[in-house]
A and B are shown apart, each in its own frame.
Chain A
Amino acid sequence: MDPKFLEPLFWIDSAYTLTVFIISILIYSKLNNYYGLTAYEGLKYFKNSFVTLIFSFLIIYVLKTIEIVEKIDSLFNIYTMIKGELLLHSLLTISILLFLYYYYMAFFFNDVKEMNRTFYHILKNEKIIFLFIIVCGIVFTPKIDLIILSLPCFSLYLVYRKMKKSQKRLNYFIIYNLLILFYTIDLIQLILFSISKYFFIDMVMYIFQTIIYVKIWNEVKN
């Protein structure tokens, strides 16, 4: 076996990705069952947000593994990328944009429906949105850092909006948004920094993220 695959970071990344993958699949299948029964729109977008998260975490894992194996300081110098890495990079951009779409629709589809019916019908049409996101993903791949930074800003704004409107405590909504925060940190770390230097931060983040996932799973499975 290549000694690089024996590095603790590789095994921790692998275990973490596998855990997230399994819990996300479990959450998705439960939500899919509930959606099958109710056809409630919010549940559809919410369950799909977990699929996009799985997709995203798998790409992050592959990119991190390449980074560990090849010991490259930054994979994200777009001009020196080989074709395979560029493809992964585009897929990552697409997965982030898809996640943003499902996230927004899961929590705000009713607001959009009340605000503008035409806009709602466009947003509801997943085929058009997929096509749009794929084009955007390819176009914005060189600007992936901007897309990643837009993720917490967008989420913070939406949390603020939701909290302002809602009259009850939204603990689980906040927990879900914490997941986005860690996901963003993961992305920033991958794209802007050399991962191997931040072993401790990785560990803390992985533990927190796993706790959040387990908490969401506990809520969904009851």
Chain B
Amino acid sequence: MIKKRERLEIIYDILVLINNNHNQMKPTPLLRKSNLSSSQFDKYILELLEKDFIEFSTVDSKNYYSLTKKGFEYISKYKVILKIIDDFDL
């Protein structure tokens, strides 16, 4: 089961990290705290940007990631979705 949920959990963890950091996080601390390899991190960040879960912004020449509305929705529905996947064993 862990294997099946792995991707969803990693996405959730990244989003929660950004959210817990006042919804603004620099790429380097995010990579460090996510416990992912650099290539894995890039893959997930690209997916999150493509799916409009996070957005990239530059404030005072510093780069930040922040959650979008869809990103917040994912966090709020994550546990429900996981429960459905677990309960039906999808």
Please name all residues of chain B whose beta carbon is closer than 8 Å to the beta carbon of A172 when the two chains form the complex. 87-89
**Per-residue CB proximity of A155-184 to B under 8 Å, as 1/0?**
000000010001000111100100000000
In the assembled complex, the Cα of A98 lies from the Cα of B73 at a distance in Å of: 32
Query: Which residue of B has the minimal Cβ distance to A42?
Result: B90
Cross-chain contact B81 with A34 (CB below 8 angstroms):
yes
A219 within 8 A of B: yes
- Contacting A at CB under 8 A, from B68-90, are 70, 73-74, 77, 80-81, 83-85, 87-90
**Number of chain A residues close to chain B: CB under 8 A:** 23
A37 within 8 A of B: yes
Tell me, rounded to whole Å, the shortest Cβ–Cβ distance linking A216 to chain B. 9
Please name all residues of chain B whose beta carbon is closer than 8 Å to the beta carbon of A21 when the two chains form the complex. none
- Contacting A at CB under 8 A, from B1-49, are 3-4, 7-8, 11
Cross-chain contact B90 with A37 (CB below 8 angstroms):
no
Cross-chain contact B4 with A34 (CB below 8 angstroms):
no
Please name all residues of chain A whose beta carbon is closer than 8 Å to the beta carbon of B11 when the two chains form the complex. 38
| A positions within 8 Å CB-CB of B | 31, 34, 37-40, 42-43, 45-46, 106-107, 110, 162, 166, 170-173, 176, 219-220, 222
